[in-house]
Amino acid sequence: MEDAARGIPHSASLSTRDFHRLSHFIYDTCGIKMPDVKMTMLEARLQKRLRALNIPSFSAYIDFLFSAQGMEQELVQMLDVVTTNKTDFFREPDHFQFLTQRVLPEWSERHPGARLSLWSAGCSTGEEPYTLAMVLSEFAQKTPGFDFQILATDLSTRVLEKARNAIYQESQVEPVPMELKRKYLLRSKDRTNHMVRIVPELREKVRFRRLNFMDDDFGMRDQLDIIFCRNVIIYFDRPTQERLLNKFHRHMKPGSFIFMGHSETLSGLDVPVVSVYPTVYRRPR
């Protein structure tokens, strides 16, 4: 079947050989493992790139991707398509309770008048950093002199654009408590438009940028007080997880915390942190 608008096959097939070429490249580029069971998923996700570029086969697409022009023009597009971005407001809520009840009071007592620096690593479409901004803003209102700044990063430029826009469907913000919705979400004047936007005061507290965890240098010169890297390392093999977490460690201040996803564990990894709460770890002072 031909795509009449483009004159290319409607559905090109991904051969085992081409899948392995791509999966090895994806692993080397961003650390994400693509086992054979992901072949159908990868084929389906990349079909749209072949059609957009008017390329008739996966073999030709890979040749283009690996060319100098492809590295410049298509690499980011390809990674945007293959990366998984699943997130929610107030996901794994006990982490935010631990943050407000233990971490923030202790930090503010030790650092009066200082600015807390927090990194949302793998921020996707922004639900996590904006949740953190709400929680930290609530704490700031009760704690004179407390201030904060959030860095939010992701590999995907597509999700970062959505995060910067900070516009969500009303159904997406259902986990946000009503009192926080009233304070931090703006509704459209058109009541038939079921969308909300994060208020400017919170948007100003979050700085978004693209970052690849496989880069040797994350481009950060300051050390951080708190890192949220939840439900990210599950896509990496154990050696890659260990290398990545030791990179994170280099950016953690003594006594700082790193929050992992509930399905993730650092058990068996050689990383100089200690467990202080389920899937929360601390760099010793």
DSSP state of 18: H
Is residue 230 a contact partner of residue 259, using CB atoms and an 8 Å limit?
Answer: yes
How far apart, in whole angstroms, are the C-alpha atoms of residue 76 and residue 154?
Answer: 12
Residue 45 annotated in active site: yes
CA dihedral for 179, 181, 182, 183, sign (positive or negative): positive
Which of 21, 49, 80, 154 is labelled catalytic? 154
3-state SS string over 84-153? Answer: CCCCCCCCCCHHHHHHHHHHHHHHHHHCCCCEEEEEEECCCCCHHHHHHHHHHHHHHHHCCCCEEEEEEE
**Radius of gyration over every alpha carbon of the chain, rounded to an integer in angstroms:** 21
Residue 17 annotated in active site: no
Residues facing 196 on adjacent strands:
168, 187
Which of 3, 6, 45, 158 is labelled catalytic? 45
Three-state DSSP at 146 gives coil
Amino acid in the structure at residue 27: Y
DSSP state of 68: H
Q: How many CA atoms lie within 13 A of 260 on its CB side?
A: 22
Token pair belonging to 213: 């965890």
**Would you say how long the chain is, in residues?**
285
Catalytic amino acids? Answer: 45, 154
